Structure 1
C-alpha cells in the first residue's frame, strides 16, 4: 500500500468519525432541548474535552459544508444558494465573454474569407493574363518564323543579283533619312 493511499484512508476514517461525532452531538442537543436552536457556540461547548478544555473538533470545521448541513441546515442552504448564485453569475459572465470571442472570430473569419475571395479573383485574372500572353507569344513566334523565312528568301534573291542584305539595309536607311528630312 502506498503512503498516499494509507494517508487517504486515515483521513477518510477521521472525516467519517468527525461527521458521526457532530451527528451524535446534534441529536443529543435536540433530545435535551428540542425548541432551542443549535448554535456553533453551544455545539462547541458540548464538544469540549473536559480535561483539557480543548474542542474535539476545530471551530472552523463546523462551517465546512458537509458539517454545516448537519447542525444548521438553513445556513447551509443559504450558503448553497449564494454559491449557486455566484456560480450562475460567473457562468453568465463566461457565456458573455465566449459570445464576444465567437463574434470576433466570426468577424475575422469573414474578413479572411473576403480576402481569400479577392485573392482567388486575382488568381483568375492572372491566369487569364497568362493565357493571353502565351497566345501572343505564340503569334509573335509564328510571325518571327515567317519573317525569318522571308528574310532567307530575300537574302537568296539578293545573292542571285550580287547584293547583300547589309547593302540593301544601308540604302534603305539612307532613303528613310532622305524622306524624313524632306517632309520635316
Structure 2
C-alpha cells in the first residue's frame, strides 16, 4: 500500500491487475510448454499401448537402447572411436565424442552471456541427449539446441579470427565428409 502511494505521488503509474496477469501468464505459459509436451507424449503412449513408458521397451527391444549415466556413455563412445571399425569410428563415434565437448565448451562460455534459463536448459538438454546407451544421433540432437548457435555467435562477435577459423573448418569438414560418404567410408 505504501509502495503504491509513494509511486503515485511521484507520478509513476503501476501496472494494472490485467497487465500483471498478462505479463505472468505469458511467462508461465512458456515455462510449462516443454513439460506439457512430455506429459502429452506420455498420455499418447498410455492411450496407444496401455503403458505410460512403453517407448522405453521399444527402444530396448529394437535397438538395445536404455537410459543410463551420460558420463559412462561418453566413455563408451570414446572407447568405440579406438576399438570399432574405421567407418563407424569416423562417421559416428568421433563426431559424437567431439560434439559433446564442443557443446559443453560453448555452454560454459555462454554462462554469463546468455540468460540463465538458456544455460540451464542447455546443460539439461546436453546431459539428457547423451544418456541413451546406444547413441547414434547426438550430432543431430545438438542441432536442435538453439543456445549453442547463440554462443557461437557471441564467440564469433568477440573473436573475429574464431569466426574465420570456424567458417573454414566447417567448409573443410563438409567437403571431407562428402568425399567419405561418396567413397562409402562413412554411412
Per the normalisation by structure 1, the TM-score is 0.26
Quick check: which one's helix share is greater? 1
RCO higher in structure (CA 8 A, sep ≥6):
2
Between structure 1 and structure 2, the one with the greater Rg is: 1
Per the normalisation by structure 2, the TM-score is 0.26
